[in-house]
Amino acid sequence: MLIILLGNTTAKITSSHGLFYDYLIHTFGTDFAKNYLEANENAIQQIYHIIQDEKIECDFEWQDNFVYTTSEKEVIKIKNEVTSVNSLGFCAELVHDSSLPFSILAGIKFPNQAQFHPLKYIQGLTNCILKNHGQIYENTKVYDIDKKENVYCVKTSHHMINAKYVVLACHYPIINAPRILLSKNVPRSLLLNWLHNKF
């Protein structure tokens, strides 16, 4: 497995990424949205088990995650998101009090999400990889990834690396998807279309 790590991370581990699932269902279909949700939920569990198995001290805590609004015109979007998420088999909840130090009009509660100290976690992962005879390379710029049959071809400035698995652990894609300059964030619809067609 090739893991590409970049900085500028956050400390939440959640399947909730704003108001996203209603959009996924209407743009890519229920199966796509459900697969996306299940992949995120499985990732949370996998991170938890890695922390337990490798005894990584990273301040891991189970927490609920909230997406909320204080705008009357956004309430319907929250309600639609709750309906969409629940239609995928996940138990999201419409709330009007998130225990925040200010009032909200509506919110969606994702239970059993988590938070941790990401740098402590990455340090623990690093130790685990090295302990199991893995190798870590820094200062290597990856500029493209292609898939040929069952192998990913990772192109760097000086080499081509073939790997069965590749994990892009960065906030925004490091590859030029969808073939436009990434000087600004790629709109979600363009990025998802590219990912759907590429992989």
Picking from 91, 119, 136, the residue at the C-terminal end of a domain is 136
Indicate if 116 and 148 belong to the same structural domain.
no
- CB-CB contact of 4 with 174 (8 Å): yes
18, two tokens: 């704003």
In a domain, 3, yes or no: no
Q: In terms of domains, do 130 and 154 share one?
A: no
pLDDT category of residue 179 using cuts at 50, 70 and 90? very low
- Based on the fold, state whether residues 117 and 195 are members of the same structural domain: no
- Write out the residue range of the structural domain in which residue 172 sits: 137-199
Determine which of 34-38, 48-52, 166-170 has the lowest per-residue pLDDT on average: 166-170
Contact assessment for residue 116 and residue 62, using Cβ atoms and an 8 Å cutoff: no
Lowest mean pLDDT among 34-48, 81-95, 97-111: 97-111
Residues 18 and 84 in one domain: yes
What's the angle, vertex CA 9, arms to CA 195 and CA 85, rounded to 5?
A: 55
Tally of domains within the chain: 2
Name the pTM for this structure. Answer: 0.72
164 Cβ neighbours under 8 A, 6+ residues apart: 1, 150, 151, 152
Residues 51 and 99 in one domain: yes
Tens digits of per-residue pLDDT, 56-99?
Answer: 999 999 999 999 999 999 999 999 999 999 999 999 999 998 67
Check whether residue 58 and residue 154 sit in a common domain. no
Task: Say yes or no: 18 and 97 in one domain.
Answer: yes
Say if 149 falls within a structural domain.
yes
Q: Is residue 1 part of a domain?
A: no
141 part of a folded domain: yes
62 and 152 together in one domain: no
Query: Which of 110, 136, 162 lies at the terminal end of a domain, its last residue?
Result: 136
